[in-house]
Homo-oligomer: A and B are copies of this chain.
Amino acid sequence: MAKIIRMKNHPASAPALPSLRAVPLRLSSNGQAVPLLDEAERETLAGIATLARFPRGARLEAEGERAVQIYNIIEGVVKTYRLSEDGAAYILAFLFPGDLVGLYENGRYVNSAEAVTAVVAHRLPIEALEQVLQRDPALNAHFLSKACHDLRAAQRHTILLAHHDARTRVLLFLDLIADHASEITGSRRIVALPMPRTDIADYLALSPEAVSRTLHALEHEGVLRFISPRVIEFDRRDDLPSIHRQSG
């Protein structure tokens, strides 16, 4: 038992099998994101996967590069982004364990991806993956489910940025992070933000100043409390736009 806990704290010692998290297309019990793959499917993917580790800040791929592999995150947080002409970054998504990194078209990656924290991931060579998917229709269907899940997430992100003000964007961002990386201590929820203000700003299409101001305005409102700049106490809110329940 102590050993299991130790493994959880040190995932290096026993990497988990590949896993896809998403809300299923078909009617399921609760409509939450769940692991899609069964043991056999995870073993199948493990058969073509090699383990990759990235330190914080490492780039997994760059837009325009020839796409040779995709990654399945086991541990850590990855950001995907595009660079504009003037060097500004547009962060498209933060990805968590159970997500896939490496969207490509015409044989080339569409986005860049960088490790926000230390990351452990399975490297899936595209060549081998496509062969496996050809042979296993059920597995193929799961990848389709995952793509649809990410499409819905992108649509929610669009609505969030395009139609909501800074306060709502920041609240929903905190919600997103709290879903994936929060500890419940008594009745309080402690959320650790793994990325700097600039990343939050690039994801929410705000200036870093606006993110800072908004966070502090929320503290004055009593919605949250700072423990340190990267750690806040935050009680999840029910009064957020329903459009955005569920995210990935």
Contacts and interface: CB of A to CB of B under 8 A. Distances in A.
A141 B141 contact: no
Contact of A90 (B106, B149, B162): B162
A135 B141 CA distance: 11
Contact of A82 (B90, B154, B159): B159
A205 B26 contact: no
A23 B155 CA distance: 19
- Size class of A's contact patch? 35 or more
Interface string A65-97: 000000000000000001011001010100000
Interface in A6-34: 23-28, 31
A106 B32 CA distance: 9
Interface string A101-141: 00111111011000000000000000000100111011011
Given A82-B243, A151-B150, A243-B82, A205 B27 contact: no
A148 interface: yes
A103 B27 contact: no
Given A144-B143, A147-B148, A85 B242 contact: yes
A50 interface: no
B105 A152 contact: yes
Contact of A103 (B107, B110, B151): B151
B103 A148 contact: yes
7 residue pairs, one from A and one from B, having the closest CB atoms: A27-B107, A162-B205, A154-B154, A147-B147, A31-B106, A161-B162, A158-B158
Interface of A: 23-28, 31, 82, 84-85, 88, 90, 92, 103-108, 110-111, 130, 133-135, 137-138, 140-141, 143-144, 147-152, 154-155, 157-159, 161-163, 205, 241-243
